[in-house]
Amino acid sequence: MRGRRAKNAQVVNPATDANYLWHVVGICALGYLVGGIPVGWLFVHWQRFGLDVRRYGSGNIGTSNVYRHAGFDIAVFVGPLQFAQGFVPVLVARLLGFPIGVAVLVAVCAVVGNGWPVYLRFNGGRGVAVATGTVAALSLAGLVAVLMCYAWGAIRGRIAIAVLLAFLILPVVAFFFDGLTVALGFCGVLVLLLMRRLEGLPTDAKTYGHLWRLVRDRLVFDERPGRPLVGPRTDPGVDPLRK
């Protein structure tokens, strides 16, 4: 009798169970919404009397640009908070018992949220700090590799190159230590970071010319014409930010 009941029992497949799929959608949406909170912009706007950090330097809302144009006292909070924006959603997904594939999806969604946040009309930051937080939640070996690259970049004064190198080797490290799923997730994160570096490329090419030089400078050095390291932006993209 028991054998017949077991035979007739319906086996629930998580991949096709509606409730499970909604849970996955919910945790991915959480990753996007948390990852997209513009903490750098909010802190500067709050502490510096409405200053819009996007109109200065790189135009980025990340820690480096905040440090250069709003000061260390704000940047010291922005960096860890952005790291947590990537780390916490992935950690929550893992603590709730979701499989590693879902945790990887949450990581990707957090980076998407930071780069294209709904809060800032889908034009956000570079996503590096958030991406680093997701690495910490998914791969200890990957985190060590990334931090070693960051340390090299800090010593040599080549942070942009170090970030690129870190996320280029990250999928390889993850493949050997954490498996194919995590490695593929980090490939997705790499693509997103490169897309953020190339943001606005058609406009820059039309304005300044030299397309392939622009591509090289953007991808390798994360440099963009009209956006000095320190000082107000002069590129055409700053105009839509004016109120």
In angstroms, the CA 20 to CA 29 distance is: 14
User: For 126-140, 162-176, 186-200, 213-227, which range has the lowest pLDDT when averaged over its residues?
Assistant: 213-227
* C-alpha dihedral sign at 67, 69, 73, 75: negative
Classify 232 as helix, strand or coil. strand
* Pick from 196, 188, 160, 144: nearest CA to 36: 196
Residue 212 lies in a domain: yes
Residue 209 in 3-state DSSP? coil
Percent of the chain with pLDDT over 90: 59
Does residue 167 contact residue 190 with C-beta atoms inside 8 Å?
yes
Mean pLDDT, rounded, for 34-56 = 88
Alpha helix stretches (DSSP H) within the chain? 2-8, 18-35, 39-47, 63-70, 72-95, 100-115, 128-138, 140-156, 159-177, 180-197, 201-208, 211-216
Residue 90 has pLDDT above 90, yes or no: yes
| 35 vs 132: CA distance, rounded Å | 12
- 28 is a domain residue: yes
Percent of the chain at pLDDT above 70? Answer: 91
pLDDT in tens, 5-20: 444 444 445 556 788 8
Residue 243 lies in a domain: no
Highest mean pLDDT among 58-72, 129-143, 192-206, 216-230: 129-143
Distance between CA atoms of residues 37 and 85, nearest Å = 8
Least confident of 1-10, 81-90, 181-190, 228-237: 1-10
Q: Is residue 242 part of a domain?
A: no
Is residue 202 a part of any domain in this protein?
Answer: yes
Range of the domain at 222: 2-237
Residue of 185, 193, 89, 177 whose CA lies nearest to 137: 89
Q: Domain for residue 84, yes or no?
A: yes
In a domain, 211, yes or no: yes
Residue 198 domain flag: yes
Query: Could you give phi then psi for residue 222, rounded to 5 degrees?
Result: 55, 45
Q: What is the DSSP letter of 116?
A: S
Q: How many domains does the chain have?
A: 1
- Residues 175-224 have pLDDT tens digits of 999 999 999 999 999 999 999 999 888 888 888 888 999 999 989 988 88
Distance CA 88, CA 233 (A): 33
> Is 76 a residue whose pLDDT tops 80?
yes
62 vs 196, higher pLDDT: 196
CA dist., res. 105 & res. 111, Å (int): 10
Closest CA to 27 of 86, 111, 96: 96
Among 54-63, 74-83, 105-114, 182-191, the least confident range: 54-63
Question: In this predicted model, which residue has the larger pLDDT, 58 or 164?
Answer: 164
